[in-house]
A and B are shown apart, each in its own frame.
Chain A
Amino acid sequence: KQEVTQIPAALSVPEGENLVLNCSFTDSAIYNLQWFRQDPGKGLTSLLLIQSSQREQTSGRLNASLDKSSGRSTLYIAASQPGDSATYLCAVRNTPLVFGKGTRLSVIA
Chain B
Amino acid sequence: DVKVTQSSRYLVKRTGEKVFLECVQDMDHENMFWYRQDPGLGLRLIYFSYDVKMKEKGDIPEGYSVSREKKERFSLILESASTNQTSMYLCASSSTSGGSYEQYFGPGTRLTVT
Residues of A within 8 A of B90 (CB): 43-44
Judging by beta carbons under 8 Å apart, are B42 and A102 in contact?
A: yes
Taking CB atoms, residues of chain B closer than 8 Å to A31 are 101
- Determine the chain B residues whose CB is within 8 A of the CB of A93 once the complex forms: 101
Distance, CA A101 to CA B103, complexed state (A) = 17
A46 at the A/B interface (Cβ < 8 Å)? yes
Q: When A41-B110, A44-B90, A89-B43 are in contact, do A96 and B48 touch as well, CB less than 8 Å? A: yes
Interface of A toward B, CB cutoff 8 Å: 31-32, 34, 36, 41-46, 49, 51, 89, 91, 93, 96-97, 99-102
- B101–A32 CB distance below 8 A: yes
Alpha-carbon gap, A15 to B108, bound state (A): 29
Chain A residue with the shortest CB-CB distance to B44? A99
Selected contact of A96 from candidates B33, B41, B88, B108, CB within 8 Å: B33
CA distance A63 to B77 in the complex (A): 39
Whether A96 pairs with B45 at a CB distance below 8 angstroms is: yes
